[in-house]
C-alpha cells in the first residue's frame, strides 16, 4: 500500500544544543496502481465485443441445367467488364447481325444510371443482370459492379456473375482496340 513517513523526530524544541531531526522524504508505492491498471485493461479486453466481419452475399448460377433460372430476353441486361475500368453492356440476347447497335460502352460513373433505367423499365420478376468479367478486368472492377447492384437496390437473385463467351471476348477486344485502350 501507499505509505508516507511524515515524522519530524520528536518535539519542537529550538535553540543551541538541540539536535535537529532527520527529515524523511515522502515515498509513494505505485505497485498497486500498476496492478489496477492491468486489471482494468484485462477487464476491457475481455468485455469488449469485436466488430463482426461483413461480407456481401453473392448469387451464382446453378450448375444443374434443370435448376437454372429462365430469363426473358426483354428483362436481361449483360454487363461486361473490360480493362482500364471500361464497362460494356447490352440488353437481351446478343444478336450477331445487330451487335454494333446493341453493344454499348460505358464507365463506372455512367453505368449506375443505365442500371437504374433498366430496373425502372422492367418488371421486377423479369429483371436479371448478368455480369461477365474479361481476363484483363481487375478484381476491383468486379467488386465495384457488385457495389453498384447494392447501391441501386437490385434484389438478390436478380444478378449473377458468369463466364464470358468467346464471341463476347472478341467483341470487347475489338471495341478496346478501336478505342485505343491498352
**Please, how many CA atoms are within 13 Å of residue 141, restricted to the half-sphere of its CB?**
23
Q: Determine if the pTM surpasses 0.85.
A: no
The model's pLDDT over 102-153, given as tens digits with 9 standing for 90+, comes to 888 888 888 989 999 988 988 888 888 889 988 888 889 888 998 888 888 8
Q: Which residue range is the domain that position 112 belongs to? A: 73-179
Q: Which pLDDT score, from 0 to 100, does residue 36 have? A: 93
* Long-range contacts of residues 62-70, Cβ cutoff 8 Å, at least 24 apart: 69/128, 69/157
- The enclosing domain of 160 has a CATH number of 3.30.420
Is residue 27, in this structure, part of any structural domain at all? no
Is residue 81, in this structure, part of any structural domain at all? yes
The structural domain count of the chain equals: 1
Is residue 13, in this structure, part of any structural domain at all? no
CB 89 within 8 A of CB 77: yes
The model's pLDDT over 56-109, given as tens digits with 9 standing for 90+, comes to 666 565 666 665 566 777 788 999 998 888 898 988 887 777 777 788 888 888
Is residue 31, in this structure, part of any structural domain at all? no
Cα-atom radius of gyration of the chain, to the nearest Å?
A: 36
Is residue 3, in this structure, part of any structural domain at all? no
Q: Which pLDDT score, from 0 to 100, does residue 43 have? A: 93
Amino acid at each position: 500500500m501507499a505509505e508516507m513517513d511524515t515524522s519530524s523526530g520528536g518535539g519542537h524544541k529550538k535553540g543551541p544544543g538541540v539536535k535537529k531531526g532527520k527529515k524523511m522524504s515522502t515515498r509513494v508505492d505505485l505497485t498497486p496502481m500498476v496492478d489496477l491498471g492491468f486489471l482494468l485493461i484485462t477487464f476491457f479486453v475481455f468485455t469488449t465485443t469485436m466488430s463482426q466481419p461483413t461480407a456481401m452475399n453473392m448469387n451464382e448460377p446453378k450448375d444443374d441445367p434443370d435448376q437454372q433460372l429462365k430469363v426473358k430476353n426483354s428483362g436481361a441486361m449483360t454487363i461486361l467488364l473490360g480493362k482500364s475500368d471500361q464497362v460494356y453492356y447490352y440488353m437481351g440476347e446478343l444478336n450477331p447481325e445487330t451487335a454494333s447497335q446493341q453493344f454499348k460502352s460505358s464507365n463506372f460513373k455512367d453505368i449506375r444510371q443505365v442500371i437504374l433505367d433498366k430496373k425502372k423499365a422492367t418488371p421486377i420478376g423479369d429483371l436479371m443482370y448478368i455480369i461477365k468479367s474479361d481476363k484483363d478486368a481487375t478484381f476491383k472492377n468486379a467488386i465495384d459492379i457488385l457495389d453498384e447492384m447494392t447501391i441501386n437496390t437490385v434484389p438478390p437473385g436478380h444478378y449473377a456473375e458468369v463466364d464470358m463467351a468467346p464471341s463476347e471476348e472478341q467483341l470487347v477486344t475489338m471495341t478496346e482496340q478501336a478505342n485505343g485502350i491498352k
